[in-house]
Structures are given as C-alpha cells and as structure tokens.
A and B are shown apart, each in its own frame.
Chain A
C-alpha cells in the first residue's frame, strides 16, 4: 500500500515510519533492560502459586528449590513427586512427602542432590579463591502458598543437613 502510494506520489506522500521507529526503539531498549534485571525466574502455574508479601529485599541467585503441589525440583532438575492425601485430623486435602522417600525427617533424594550442590559450590569457591564464589549455604525457596508447613519443614531440615542454612523465601512483591 505504502509502496504503491510512494511510487505514485514520487515519495512525498509516503507514510513516515521514522517517528514510529524512534518510539519503538525506545520501547525496545526499555523492555530489553527490564528483561535483563530479573535474575530469578518463577514458572508460575496452578501448582505453584507464590505468596504475596510486603518484603522489599530483591532475591539473589542461589540454589533454587521449587516445591510445587506436584513435585520438588532443584535447579530445574526433578527430584521427587509429592503425594496428595486426606488429612486424618481435619478431613481436608493435604500434601505430604511419600514415606518411602524419607529417612526420618530427611528427604533422601533431595539430601543427596543438595549435598552434591554444596560440594560443587565449595570446590568452585576453593578453586577461584574469590569471595563472590564463596559457599554461603544460600538457598532460594519457591513454595506454593497452600503447602502445609510440615513439607516446608522437611525441605528446610534436609537443606540444613546438606549445609544450606540460609533460606530465602521467594515472594511476589505486593502492597501486603
């Protein structure tokens, strides 16, 4: 359409896209910038609803433990499935870690994986000798808001046993 018109009018009547290009370039740069700043990503779904909180601190990158209603995932790697059962006391739906995955309160597979992560992080810290890579035992916890505390406690306990003692609960920033 524009081409036709341009040909007919000898260029004078052509749609000027330049101003629109200016605008779009600015939007593009803005979006690219806001795209980069997010260093922790949450794949929100029906099974993973992150609670809203009035917390201000921004999350730093660390070992990422995602506890959704279905399963536990560490840094994108599947660890175990969770089990939906009926609570004996209240009769309502609840979520538990399957008994055969547990050693006491410890979630065995999660422990093995976290321990491996801790070892890798420590190796890295020792080899680089840099303070940035020093192992601080930080772990980011993304937990579904309907998760009962018993599961959260078991995950925290397991992480604690695997030398991860600093927890960061990931929340969505809101008015609270």
Chain B
C-alpha cells in the first residue's frame, strides 16, 4: 500500500532506460538497413538441342538478334547478316567500336550508340524480345551488365504498357548469354 503511494507520487514514468535502448537500436538498424537497393536481372541458359530439321515450308522470319562483345566493341548480328562498321581506314570492324581504343574500361563501350541502334531495330521488329549476348572470355562482368542495361530499355523514349501506364521504351528484355568465343 505504502509502496503504491510512493509510485503515485513519482512525477513521470522514467523513460531514460528506454531512451538508452532506442538510441542504441537506431544506429544499429541504420547500419544494418542498407540504402543500396538490390535488383536482379533474369537470364536463362540457351536451350541445347539438336538442330531442327529443315522443312519445305516457308520458314517464319525471325530476327535472332545477337550482340558480340569483343575487345574492339560491339558487333550486332541478325539472322544471317552482320552489321559491319566502317573504320576510317576502310577496313571492316565492329558495328560500334569503343569510344577509346583498347576498350580497357567498361565505360569505354558505346552503350548509348547500342541503345539507339537497338531502338531502330526494335521499331522494325516490335514483337521481338530476345537478344543473345556473345561475350569474349576476357570481357569484364560489368561490361556484360552495362550491355544488358543498354539492350533492355531506351530511357530517352517512352511508351505505354498493357495497363496504359507510361514507361521507358522496352527494347529486348529477354537476355540469353551464349557460351562465347574461347
């Protein structure tokens, strides 16, 4: 009884221990909650199977778009055509050569040019969603990711999705990574 009276007299609930706890928890959670948000890029292995029998029927025209990433730049290939780039010295080179010779860093690849070119291709083949990447062995993983980004969407143009929402123009979101040249 007397104890209860004494508690009644206490002016306020002593929040200091809780404050201590909270002030420790907040920095801890701030450290733990990373503000870098992660994302994922889906990719599948190319299906391996026997080559299909050639039929007499008129084959459906497909694009089979592939991008070879070499130490000189990007080469864009279609079903049976290779887009060649013209070099200043008259020789044929990659479709989109690196901005700096040597391609020593991932950002020297001409990703902007690739997006523009793929955007043009997409205008002609608007049902196509697949692209095959064929990187060379020594190409850095970052270059691969940058290329996938460039091939996925065109940030300079917008289009409407199925629900009528505006979004960036989708180019070729389904990326397949091929074995590449040894």
Contact surface of A with B, Cβ cutoff 8 Å: 2, 6, 10-11, 14, 17-18, 20-21, 24-25, 27-28, 31-32, 34-35, 38, 40, 42, 50-60, 87, 89-90, 94, 140, 143-150, 152-153, 156-157, 160, 165-173, 176
Contacts and interface: CB of A to CB of B under 8 A. Distances in A.
Contact of B44 (A52, A55, A167): A167
B18 A21 contact: yes
Interface residues on B, range: 35 or more
The B contact surface, by secondary structure, is mixed
A60 B38 CA distance: 10
Contacts of A35: 29, 32-33
A169 B142 CA distance: 11
A97 to B, nearest CB: 12
Nearest to A21: B15
What DSSP secondary structure best describes chain A's contact surface?
mixed
B39 A32 contact: no
Interface stretch (B50-58, B118-126, B131-139): B131-139
Nearest to A160: B45
Contacts of B177: 153, 156, 167
A21 B36 CA distance: 28
Nearest to A60: B40
Contacts of B82: none
A13 B139 CA distance: 69
A51 B142 contact: yes
A90 B30 CA distance: 44
A165 to B, nearest CB: 5
15 contacts: A18-B15, A38-B33, A40-B38, A51-B142, A53-B39, A53-B148, A53-B149, A58-B38, A145-B106, A145-B140, A149-B180, A167-B43, A167-B44, A169-B41, A172-B37
